[in-house]
C-alpha cells in the first residue's frame, strides 16, 4: 500500500494528519500488517487532555497488544466509534476509515515527525 503524502509519521508507526488545529491520528499500514488481524481497539474518550508522548489507547490483534501514542498534545475531541463494532476497518483501510482519534492541538505540531518519503524509506520500502 502506498504511504499517503498528506500526513506525517512517527517512528513508532502512528500517522498524523493536520487540518487547521485538529490532528487526526491513526496507525500505519506497515504497523497493521505487523500486528495481523485487529480484534479490539480502545482509545481514551473524547474530552480527555493528552500531552505529546502520552499513550492514548490500545490496539489488540490476534497476536499482540500494543499501545498507541499521541505525537502531539491537546484535547481528544472525537473517537472513531466504528472501530469498536468492526476493528477490521483498521486492516482494510488504515489511512481512511481506520482512523483512531482527533485531537484539538494546544501546543506545537510535534517533534521528530517524518514525511511520507522518509517513512517509506525507513519502513515500508
Partner 1 sequence: MWGWGCGEPERRSHCATNLVFGGAPGSGQRFLHGGGRQLDDVDVALAKRQQNHAPRMPHHNRGPGALHMRKDTFHRPMRGLRAIDESAQVLVQFHKSIRNGLARVKCKAPCFEHLCRCADLMPQAGIARALQPGIDREHPHGVRFYGLRGAGCSRTLSGRTRKIKGTVMTTTAPESQLTHSPLHEWHVQHGARMVDFVGWALPICYDWPETFGGGGGIIEEHKQVRASGGVFDVSHMGRIDVKGRHARRLLERMVSRRISDMTEGQCRYALVLNERGGVRDDVLVYRFDDSEFMVVCNGANREKILAHTDAIKAQGTANGALDACKIHDKTRDTAMVAVQGPKVMDLIAKVSSEVPTLKRYRFVEKNMLIMKLLVSRTGYTGENGVEVILPAKVVSMAMKMLLKDAGPDTNAIVKPCGLGARDTLRLEAGMPLYGHELDEDTDALASGLNFAITLDKDQDERGEDAIGLAALRSIQQAGGPKQHLVGLILEGKRTARQGMAVRAGDKTIGRITSGCLSPTLGQSIAMAYVDVAHATPNETVQVDFGRDRTIEATTTALPFYKST
- Give the binding site for partner 1 (CB under 8 A): 11-13, 27, 30-31, 33-37, 39-40, 42, 55, 60, 62-67, 69, 91, 122-125
Nearest approach in angstroms of CB 26 to partner 1 is 13
Task: Name the strand (E) or helix (H) holding 29.
Answer: helix 29-35
| Three-state DSSP class for residue 56 | strand
Question: Between residues 40 and 46, which has the closer beta carbon with respect to partner 1?
Answer: 40
Contacts of residue 33, Cβ cutoff 8 Å, sequence gap at least 6? none
Beta pairing class for 14-19 and 8-9: antiparallel
Question: Between residues 74 and 87, which has the closer beta carbon with respect to partner 1?
Answer: 87
Compute the chain's Rg from CA coordinates.
13
Question: Between residues 19 and 40, which has the closer beta carbon with respect to partner 1?
Answer: 40
Question: Between residues 21 and 88, which has the closer beta carbon with respect to partner 1?
Answer: 88
Nearest approach in angstroms of CB 32 to partner 1 is 9
Residue matched to cell numbers 466504528: 82
Amino acid at each position: 500500500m502506498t504511504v499517503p503524502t498528506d500526513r506525517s509519521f512517527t517512528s513508532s508507526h502512528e500517522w498524523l494528519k493536520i487540518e487547521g488545529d485538529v490532528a487526526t491520528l491513526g496507525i500505519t499500514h506497515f504497523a497493521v500488517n505487523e500486528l495481523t488481524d485487529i480484534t479490539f481497539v480502545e482509545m481514551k474518550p473524547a474530552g480527555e487532555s493528552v500531552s505529546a508522548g502520552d499513550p492514548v489507547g490500545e490496539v489488540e490483534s490476534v497476536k499482540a497488544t500494543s499501545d498507541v501514542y499521541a505525537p502531539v498534545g491537546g484535547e481528544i475531541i472525537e473517537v472513531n466509534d466504528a472501530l469498536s463494532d468492526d476493528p477490521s476497518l483498521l486492516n482494510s483501510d488504515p489511512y481512511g476509515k481506520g482512523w483512531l482519534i482527533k485531537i484539538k492541538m494546544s501546543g506545537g505540531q510535534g517533534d521528530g515527525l517524518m514525511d511520507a518519503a522518509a517513512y517509506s524509506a525507513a519502513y515500508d520500502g
